[in-house]
Structure 1
Amino acid sequence: MSDAYILVLYYSRHGATAQMARQIARGVEQGGMTARLRTVPGVSSECAAVAPEIPDEGALYASLDDLRQCAGLALGSPTRFGNMAAPLKYFLDGTSGLWLTGELVGKPAALFTSTASLHGGQESTLLSMMLPLLHHGMLISGLPYSEPALLHTQGGGTPYGASHLAGADGKRPLDEHEISLCRALGKRLAHIAQRLEPSRG
């Protein structure tokens, strides 16, 4: 397991989802595994990637090898009309080669999202993000109600995955419950990956 890692793959336009990704990565490491943070470039109206090969700041862009070689996946996106953002969907649409070879079958996955408003489609986004992962044969993990923050949060947090109320300007910082749930999700994913990895080897 020394080389095994959890891929924390996300798209973030204003930084809120990136904040979540860093907290999930911290949870993965608290769970005893390495976290690999990766993002995806934006897309144009014609759906072609529009970005330099290496971003000016933040996480590197994900490759299919990052996905192929991971022991588990945490996938995050801001909400766009109750669904994931186009850049992340565009990346996932390019993973048919991994689907054909079954590279992701049996690997655990978890999801996270951020919204501008409290009822801005957090749960529908998390549920819709599960669909391509289920097609890949991944094993979806949510957040159990044994996590106390899930019962007390007044911002984000769902049994379907971690979520965050970023506010209309996208600048609201993660509150203590949202941080707790992000870390819990990462830790849970790491523990599941460690249990599954011997059976996959």
Structure 2
Amino acid sequence: MTEVLVLYYSRHGGTRSIARLIARGIEASGAVARLRTVPDIASVGETPSAEIPEDPYVSIEDLKACHGLALGSPVRFGNMAAPLKHFIDSTAKEWLAGTLIGKPAMVFTSGSMLHGGQETTLNTMMLPLLHHGMVIVGLPHSEPALHTTKGGGSPYGPSHITGEGRRQPDAEEKNLAISGGKRLAEIAARLKD
């Protein structure tokens, strides 16, 4: 059975909603989606959130067991959020061991406004995955929603514009996330075999 790890950090739920849609696409393809998150870390002058996450925290075993990876973060000044970066920075042993070499990966994000740094966030999340030797999977222009979206979504990966009112993903954002999950799972199954 093909297993795809959907690893994300979400502070206000926008990235989590896209993670769930990607997982739906993964499972529609016949693969297993393993949803995981990372612990919050405190910013200067703040205390970490004591909120219990909806999904379990990721482990190194999750990385070793997966056949593919979807990595998601909210936009933080055009980059991934510190809690996710903190976890990625802790994977040096897995990098040296080649744990993720040859496995497909996609990235996804959410942010409060259009042109708020979604594409740079997606690009910067790809960099450590390339160092791990992963095969990057994007959204091809054959996806009809890429041509009609007024919110999130780009060839670099699914995204969601939450707006100030914390709006839910629209039809195009949903379609792109689900399609991206299916595509990732199908490629993971082919590469696994």
Question: Normalised by the shorter chain, which TM-score bucket?
Answer: over 0.9
CA distance in 2, matches of 1:125, 1:50: 22
Letter of the aligned partner of 1:16 in structure 2? G
For normalisation by structure 2, the TM-score amounts to 0.95
Distance (whole Å) between structure 2 residues aligned to residue 79 and residue 45 of structure 1: 15
Q: CA deviation at 1:44?
A: 1.8
Which segments of 5 or more consecutive residues in structure 2 lack a partner in the other structure? none
Structure 2 partner of 1:79 = 75
TM-score under structure 1 length normalisation: 0.92
Q: Which residue in the other structure is 2:181 paired with?
A: 186
Instruction: Tell me how many residue pairs correspond in the alignment.
Output: 191
Give me the whole-angstrom Cα distance separating, in 2, the residues matched to 1:15 and 1:45: 19
Q: Which one of 108, 115, 123 corresponds to residue 112 of structure 1?
A: 108
Tell me how far apart the structure 2 counterparts of residues 68 and 35 of structure 1 sit (CA, whole Å). Answer: 14
Percent identity of paired positions between Structure 1 and Structure 2: 59
CA distance in 1, matches of 2:57, 2:163: 26
Q: CA deviation at 1:50?
A: 4.7
Aligned partner (choices 126, 151, 171) of residue 176 of structure 1: 171
1:1-201 → structure 2 map (5 Å cutoff): 2=1, 4-45=2-43, 50=48, 56-169=52-165, 171-198=166-193
The alignment yields a C-alpha RMSD, in angstroms, of 1.5
CA distance in 2, matches of 1:103, 1:179: 31
Q: Distance in 1 between matches of 2:84 and 2:52?
A: 19
Give the residue type in structure 2 aligned to 1:186: G
Letter in 2 for 1:173: Q
Structure 1 residues without counterparts, runs of 5 or longer:
none
Alpha-carbon distance in 1 for matches of 2:49, 2:12: 16
Moved over 6 A (4+): none
